[in-house]
Amino acid sequence: MQLDFPTLFIIILLNAFSLAVVWLLVVLKYRELISARYWLGGVVLNCVSGPMLFLGYGVSGLNYIGLTLVTLSFAMVWQGAAAFYDLPPRTARVGILTAGTMAAFLLFGTSQITINVIAAATQIGAVGLAAGILLRAVDKYIGSYVAILAAALLIAGQGAEAVTNIARLMGLMTTEAYYKVGAWFLVCAIIGGVLLNLGFVLMTMNRAQDALLRLAEQDELTGLPNRRGLHTRVAALSPFAKAGETTLAVLALDLDRFKSINDQFGHDAGDAALVHVTQNIMQSLRKNDIMARLGGDEFCIVLHGVDHAEAMAFANRVVKLIASTPLTWGGHTLNLSISVGVSEWDPHEQPEIASALKSADGALIGTKASKRTHNPTAVHLPGPVPPFLA
């Protein structure tokens, strides 16, 4: 079956209009997503280039402009991929690619064969740059792999277009033989373009899902996991503990006199105190340790690879750390202190962290009771609690 190019140009135009509607809705919904604007720009350029390629088939001027806009549309794909992964824009390089494409047409576009070679080569360059970003990205989504496969299809189709036209220039292939297969290369470009945009849509949805998951599992004030986030992260550790590869300890801690801080200095001061405690303790944690905010001034720490004595020693260190790093707020120096309860957690006996956390809470209550009586045997903070103001 032989396909004709004008019909395919109409298909490209209709396809571009459909994709433009999709990306317009995405841009309106996610205004902060810069990459979607680039991808919308790319399909709009295809909408503009379609009529030029259809009307300019065999007319050099319109053909040059239409094909240059196609290359620019793929450059927008490249820039969208860069923006998605927070890479800086390459505006100058896009300008050079676009100007170079037009210059190549004007200088060497003496026949449809050379025009085909130039168009294929420049489009391969732009798509290849986008594919390079997707391949190097660390956090790949399902949509990333769809986009990579689509880019490979585009490059294969345009590569075949370039090779067969070079063969025509060298007299190794007849024009009749080329036209039997040439339209199929454009079909590859159409399918590749659709799949490429589908991949980007999936990437956008994956990113949005990740953002919602972070909101569901992350404490907004401190950036720590919340109770739900704690269970998600602990689920990744417990199999190793069950296999005997590591031991776990659970620490429950809270900020002493937190209500008094809020009452005396305001809730902003209370928030600042929570952030201050979080930042200081996080500096003492190792890579695989977990700290979560359970609510109010209640925190939980999960230490891996430590026994009860080592967990107690760590608790003493962070208690002393907070006591030695006062918070400056509103011209005042606030002496903060925390109370800690420690519990061992054996996932063999207690599959869920809730039991170990309950034990740690019981130990925390005991610690706070010892502080109220100024008992010098209080494990985590010997002696009386210091006053707020230095």
Q: What is the mean pLDDT of the chain?
A: 86
Same fold, 5-217 and 227-372: no
Buried b (16+ CB within 10 A) or exposed e, 215-230: eebbbeebebbbeebb
Determine the pLDDT at residue 353: 80
Side-chain half-sphere exposure of 213, counting CA atoms within 13 A: 10
pLDDT of 104 higher than 80: yes
Report the C-alpha gap between 190 and 5 in whole angstroms.
12
Is the Cα dihedral 362, 363, 367, 369 positive or negative? positive
Lowest mean pLDDT among 71-75, 172-176, 287-291, 368-372: 368-372
Instruction: Please report the pLDDT score of residue 276 as a whole number.
Output: 95
Locate the domains of the chain by residue range: 5-217, 227-372
pLDDT at 324: 92
**More confident position, 66 or 50:** 66
DSSP letters, 285-314, are: --TT-EEEEEETTEEEEEEES--HHHHHHH
Amino acid type, 89: P
Q: What is the pLDDT of residue 245?
A: 54
pLDDT band at 372 (very low <50, low <70, confident <90, very high): low
Q: Tell me the C-alpha distance between 79 and 195, whole Å.
A: 18
Q: What is the pLDDT of residue 304?
A: 86
Say which residue the tokens 């297969």 belong to: 181
pLDDT of residue 246: 65
**Residue 351 confidence class, pLDDT cut points 50, 70, 90:** low
Average pLDDT over residues 112-132: 94
Q: What's residue 63's pLDDT?
A: 86
The predicted pLDDT at position 359 comes to 87
pLDDT at 3: 56
Q: Per-residue pLDDT for 386 more than 70?
A: no
Q: What is the mean pLDDT of residues 139-159?
A: 94
Q: Which residues contact 231 (CB under 8 A, 6 or more apart)?
A: 353
Which residues lie below 8 Å from residue 93, measured CB to CB, with a gap of 6+? none
Task: Find the mean pLDDT for residues 14-33.
Answer: 89
pLDDT of residue 240: 55
Mean pLDDT of all residues in 321-349: 87
**Which whole number is the average pLDDT over 18-32?**
91
Angstrom distance (rounded) from CA 149 to CA 134: 11
CB 131 within 8 A of CB 155: yes
User: Average pLDDT, stretch 309-314?
Assistant: 91
Q: For residue 169, what are the contacts with CB-CB under 8 A and spacing of at least 6?
A: 113, 114, 117
Query: For 19-40, what is the mean pLDDT?
Result: 92
Buried b vs exposed e over 347-380: b needs ≥16 C-beta within 10 Å?
A: beebeebeebbebbbebbeebbebbeeeeeebbb
Q: Which of 233-242, 260-269, 291-300, 312-321 has the lowest mean pLDDT?
A: 233-242
Write down the CATH number for the domain with range 5-217: 1.20.1070
Q: Is 145 in a helix, a strand, or coil? A: helix
Q: What percent of the chain has pLDDT over 90?
A: 54
Is 60 exceeded by the pLDDT of residue 119? Answer: yes
CATH number of the domain at 227-372, please?
3.30.70.270
Q: In this model, does residue 76 exceed pLDDT 70?
A: yes
Cα dihedral across residues 57, 61, 66, 70: positive or negative: positive
**Contact of 15 with 47, CB cutoff 8 Å:** no
CA neighbours within 13 Å on the CB side: how many for 225? 15
| DSSP annotation of 59 | -
pLDDT of residue 374: 56
Tell whether the model's pLDDT for residue 67 goes beyond 60: yes
Is the model's pLDDT at 111 over the cut of 50? Answer: yes
pLDDT in tens, 243-277: 555 678 999 999 998 998 998 889 999 999 999 99
